[in-house]
């Protein structure tokens, strides 16, 4: 069964809630489609703004910090992700590696510290997990302070001969600000997050805070359903038709862990063909992929790291491979201009005092009406951020 690229784009727009803007009643549904990366900070807010009609920062922060129907924690790829609190059993627990499935991409670098300490990752993870109980009764401001505080707790449990090594300068950069122990804690906080031992609290200005899930919610809610299967299905729904390799890349896991989680949804997927190559789709999505979902004319100014852009088969939404490095950079990704599911330009923003300046680079022809629509979206986004759009430059330029 052959699935066209246009059908895939239409389906993904729908799966990512970008086919049309929903009401705020759909907040949990939109955030829970595949989770929303919040790096750089505020990325999740920009993503929700593009999906929900009349969305305000106050409403989003109310859900995350007061109602706590949403939760932020380190999740897939070790990134901070916002997702429905009720789905922690999907976005956290399945990411715990079983024996032989490590390392995760975000713990590979720990080897140098292990060599210095002459300790195994398993030994140290057990100590860091134990130290994380400190967060049951404390909230720590800033990631750097979190590393230092938990490193000190772990230090007290180490043999005397290990403490001087633990206190030595970090080999990972900024040795004047980080110790070997602080670096170890930094590496191992992600698997602690998967066990619900550490979550993000309410930001203090521009600084994140951290505590435990038990402290943040008052309890650790029970898990329901098959979280591993649910996670794989979410990926297949939002990024299918797709492959196991793409799933592994999205997870940031070892091949073994990705294969195990993928197989949890084996009963839910079917093989299809995309440009002559074998891919897998959710069986329940097959009708929509065959018949096609409607693609509206709506333009989107998607922020950097929007979930829709978090894919391995980038040619589906940007056929010109020469432009991929312009969108997906090592650091400092721009936002993208999306039209009918295709990336047709990029945008960047500069904030000065209470004003916002936008610079849009268009790669295709836009009618005067479409340019006005982009201007209107820029004004709405500035207002969403509590700013005034001072400038909106548009230029036609293909790098």
What is the average pLDDT score of the chain? Answer: 95
Q: Is the pLDDT assigned to residue 93 strictly greater than 80?
A: yes
> Percentage of residues in the chain with pLDDT exceeding 70?
99
Of 353, 352, 351, 354, nearest to 388 by C-alpha is: 354
Q: Is the pTM of this model over 0.85?
A: yes
Please check the confidence at residue 391 and state whether its pLDDT lies above 80. yes
Model confidence at 300: pLDDT above 90: yes
Q: Per-residue pLDDT tens for 227-274?
A: 999 999 999 999 999 999 999 999 999 999 999 999 999 999 999 999
**Residue 99 pLDDT grade (very low, low, confident, very high; cuts 50, 70, 90):** confident
pLDDT at 398 over 80: no
Measured CA distances, 56 to 125, 196, 317, 351, 356 (Å) = 40, 29, 28, 19, 17
Residues 386 and 57 sit within 8 Å (Cβ to Cβ):
yes
Under the banding of pLDDT at 50, 70 and 90, the label for residue 320 is very high
Report the C-alpha gap between 325 and 397 in whole angstroms: 15
Give the integer Cα–Cα distance in Å for 228 and 262. 8
> Which tokens hold the place of 157?
């449990």
How far is residue 40's CA from residue 38's CA, in Å, rounded to a whole number? 6
- pLDDT tens digit string along 42-69? 999 999 999 999 999 999 999 999 999 9
Q: What sign has the CA pseudo-torsion 269, 195, 41, 258?
A: negative
For residue 3, pLDDT over 80 is answered with yes
- Cα–Cα distance for residue pair 360/389, rounded to 1 Å: 13
Q: Stretch 179-206: mean pLDDT, rounded? A: 96
Tokens representing residue 385 in the block: 């951020």
Do the beta carbons of residue 12 and residue 285 sit within 8 Å? no
- Which pLDDT value is given to residue 142? 97
Identify the pLDDT of residue 222. 87
Report which of 281, 228, 223, 224 is spatially closest to residue 259, judged by C-alpha positions: 228
Partner residues linked to 2 by β-bridges? 273
- In the chain, what are the helix, strand and coil shares in percent, each to the nearest 5? 50, 20, 35
Q: Give the tens place of pLDDT for each residue, 371-389.
A: 999 999 999 999 999 999 9
Q: Which two tokens stand for residue 132?
A: 């994380």
Q: Tell me the CA distances in angstroms from 201 to 68, 75, 133, 215, 327, one per residue in order.
A: 10, 15, 16, 10, 31
176, two tokens: 């004047």
Q: What is the mean pLDDT of residues 296-315?
A: 92
| Residues 110-132 pLDDT 10s | 999 999 999 999 999 999 999 99
Q: Can you tell me the distance from the alpha carbon of 91 to that of 71, in angstroms, rounded to the nearest whole number? A: 10
pLDDT at 291: 79
Q: What pLDDT sits at residue 84? A: 98
Rounded Cα–Cα distance for residues 329 and 301 (Å): 18
Please give the pLDDT value at position 65.
98
- For range 197-222, the mean pLDDT: 95
Distance CA 91, CA 12 (A): 20
pLDDT at 202 over 90: yes
pLDDT above 90 as % of the chain: 90
Lowest mean pLDDT among 187-191, 204-208, 219-223, 260-264: 219-223
pLDDT at 221 over 90: no
User: What would the DSSP string read from start to end of 257-325?
Assistant: HHHHHHHTTGGGEEEEEETTEEEEEEGGGHHHHHH-------EEEEPTT-GGG--S-GGGT---GGGHH
Residue 104 has pLDDT above 80, yes or no: no
Among residues 86, 84, 72, the alpha carbon closest in space to that of 200 is found at 72
């Amino acid at each position: 069964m052959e699935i066209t690229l246009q059908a895939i784009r239409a389906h993904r727009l729908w799966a990512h809630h970008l086919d049309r803007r929903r009401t705020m009643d759909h907040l949990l549904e939109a955030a829970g489609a595949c989770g929303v990366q919040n790096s750089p900070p505020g990325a999740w807010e920009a993503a929700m703004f593009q999906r929900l009609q009349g969305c305000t920062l106050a409403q989003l922060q109310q859900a995350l910090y007061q109602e706590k129907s949403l939760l932020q924690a380190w999740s897939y790829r070790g990134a901070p992700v916002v997702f429905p609190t009720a789905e922690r059993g999907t976005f956290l627990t399945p990411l715990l590696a079983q024996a032989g499935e490590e390392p995760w991409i975000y713990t590979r670098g720990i080897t140098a510290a292990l060599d210095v300490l002459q300790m195994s990752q398993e030994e140290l993870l057990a100590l860091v997990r134990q130290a994380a109980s400190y967060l049951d009764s404390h909230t720590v401001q800033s990631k750097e302070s979190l590393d230092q505080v938990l490193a000190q707790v772990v230090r007290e449990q180490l043999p005397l001969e290990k403490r001087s090594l633990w206190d030595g300068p970090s080999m990972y950069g900024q040795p004047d600000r980080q110790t070997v122990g602080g670096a170890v804690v930094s590496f191992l906080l992600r698997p602690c997050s998967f066990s619900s031992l550490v979550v993000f609290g309410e930001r203090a200005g521009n600084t994140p805070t951290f505590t435990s899930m038990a402290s943040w919610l008052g309890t650790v809610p029970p898990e329901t359903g098959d979280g591993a299967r649910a996670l794989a299905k979410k990926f297949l729904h939002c990024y299918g038709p797709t492959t196991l390799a793409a799933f592994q890349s999205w997870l940031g896991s070892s091949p073994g862990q990705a294969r195990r989680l993928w197989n949890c949804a084996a009963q839910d997927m079917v093989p299809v063909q995309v440009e002559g190559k074998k891919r897998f789709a959710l069986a329940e999505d097959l009708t929509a992929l065959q018949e096609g979902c409607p693609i509206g004319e709506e333009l989107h100014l998607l922020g950097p790291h929007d979930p829709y852009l978090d894919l391995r088969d980038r040619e589906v939404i940007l056929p010109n491979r020469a432009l991929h490095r312009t969108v997906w950079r090592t650091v400092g990704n721009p936002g993208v201009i999306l039209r009918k599911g295709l990336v047709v330009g990029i945008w960047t923003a500069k904030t000065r005092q209470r004003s916002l300046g936008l610079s849009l680079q268009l790669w295709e022809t836009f009618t005067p009406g479409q340019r006005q629509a982009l201007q209107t979206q820029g004004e709405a986004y500035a207002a969403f951020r509590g700013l005034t759009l001072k400038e909106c430059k548009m230029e036609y330029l293909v790098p």
